[in-house]
Amino acid sequence: MPEPVPELCRRIRQNELFSHLYMERQTTIKDIAVALRLSKSTVSRALRDAPDIKIETKKAVKALAEELDYQPNKLALSLLNRQTHTIGVIIPNLDYVLSTMVKGIDEVALEAGYTVMVCQSDESFGREIVNTKRLLESLVDGFIVSVSSETKVFEHIKKIQNKKIPLVLFDRVVNHISCPSVRLDNIAGGVLATQHLVDQGYKRIAILAGPENLNISNKRMEGYLQTLKLNGLRPDKRMIIHCDFNQQYAYEATKELLAMKQPPDAIFTISDRMAIGAMLAIKEKGLQMPDDIGLVGFNNEPVTSLVSPSISSVEMYAFEMGKATAKLFIEMLNSDDTMAHQEIVIKPKLFIRESSKRIITKKDRNNSA
């Protein structure tokens, strides 16, 4: 039987052979085994509460491990168990919306015992491939991915699936990748924004759409086109401008729209960053919102309620989307089914503010009274 731990610890402190265990080097199973005159396998089994190890030996091993601040080698354990309890998350950028989604993912992951490793592609296809490769090398348990605006081929995503590694796509989903996904009902968001502008009496409604290869851009524009048609308004190709999710691009695009012989009387932008760019161009032109021109954004970022006039915007519930994505991922990890066709769709809501509200209803008067 090993000697009492307090006496053993005193002896170790005094013994030059073991004094390093109280210094900077990390304690190993071998150190504990030598100090207790046990085999490494006995110490390992004692730390795992193996039934074939005597209770007294377990107590001695665990007490000395605590005294020496022994930390198990998580990498070795992960290789043994084929689990790292780490989720690889790839996102296009760390703007307000996506960082809020990551917070939702992280909250659920932490509660489930997982660590989130986040990589951003900065809207670069090349960086997205590099991020995928590095996360694969890090032995993550699975991937949660929102693709970049440059991504047009998806062999790197298919490689994840070919390795039988769990994968969930979120926000920017890919139609021809069969896997669980979480997305916003982007068509409904486009309908909400455009119908509101029609209801406010606007007739020449332009749209600043995103990159043409992005599903979310096309779906929001689809909602816009459907609504114009439903209200008997003919779409004008000159009123549809595709540009990146960038304030400067939106500013330049809006200047072009306002320079037209028959400029728009309202603009729907598919992100709030673009709405800020559009607002700068509108103010520079000397136009007043909502009287001269209406403006509606998308994402409902905090800035929309802080600028003057405040900007109407479609809420996409980013935090809730992140939580739903992580829950779906963990469900996938613990499921025997493929769940390939499981899809969660978040419903949007329009928040109406000063930039587009020019018709005062009876309800509005009652609320302000």
Strand 181-184 to 240-242 pairing: unpaired
- Half-sphere exposure of residue 363: CA atoms within 13 angstroms, side-chain side: 1
Q: Do 356 and 223 fall into the same domain?
A: yes
Residue whose entry in the numeric block shows the structure tokens 């970049």: 148
The two structure tokens encoding residue 247: 């304030």
SS3 at position 92: coil
Alpha-carbon gap, residue 273 to 266, rounded angstroms: 17
Alpha-carbon gap, residue 55 to 60, rounded angstroms: 9
Sheet holding 205-209, edge to edge: 240-242, 205-209, 266-269, 294-299, 312-315, 349-351
Q: Do 357 and 259 fall into the same domain?
A: yes
Q: Looking at the chain, how many residues does it have?
A: 369
Q: Which residues pair with residue 314 across a beta bridge?
A: 298, 350
CATH number of the domain within which 215 lies: 3.40.50.2300
- Please indicate, yes or no, if residue 210 is contained in any of the structural domains: yes
- Please indicate, yes or no, if residue 368 is contained in any of the structural domains: no
Number of domains in the chain: 3
- Please indicate, yes or no, if residue 367 is contained in any of the structural domains: no
In contact, 269 and 208? CB cutoff 8 Å: yes
Q: Residues 6 or more apart from 263 whose CB is under 8 A from it?
A: 204, 257
Query: By residue range, what is the domain housing residue 331?
Result: 84-183+318-346
The two structure tokens encoding residue 149: 């605006």
Q: Do 129 and 210 fall into the same domain?
A: no
The two structure tokens encoding residue 22: 């109280």
- Please indicate, yes or no, if residue 77 is contained in any of the structural domains: no
Q: Which residues pair with residue 312 across a beta bridge?
A: 296
Of the candidates 78, 102, 106, which has an alpha carbon nearest to the alpha carbon of residue 90?
102
Per-residue pLDDT of the chain (369 residues; tens, 9 = 90+): 455 656 666 565 555 445 555 445 577 888 888 888 888 888 888 887 888 888 888 888 888 888 877 776 655 554 455 567 899 999 999 999 999 999 999 999 999 999 999 999 999 999 999 999 999 988 899 999 999 999 999 999 999 999 889 999 999 998 888 999 999 999 999 999 999 999 999 999 999 999 988 999 999 999 999 999 999 999 999 999 998 889 999 999 999 999 999 999 999 999 999 999 999 999 999 999 999 999 999 999 999 999 999 999 999 999 999 999 999 999 998 876 777 789 999 999 999 999 999 876 544 444 333
- Please indicate, yes or no, if residue 79 is contained in any of the structural domains: no
- Please indicate, yes or no, if residue 147 is contained in any of the structural domains: yes
Amino acid at 103: K
Q: Do 236 and 196 fall into the same domain?
A: yes
pLDDT at 3: 55
Of the candidates 265, 289, 264, 270, which has an alpha carbon nearest to the alpha carbon of residue 279?
289
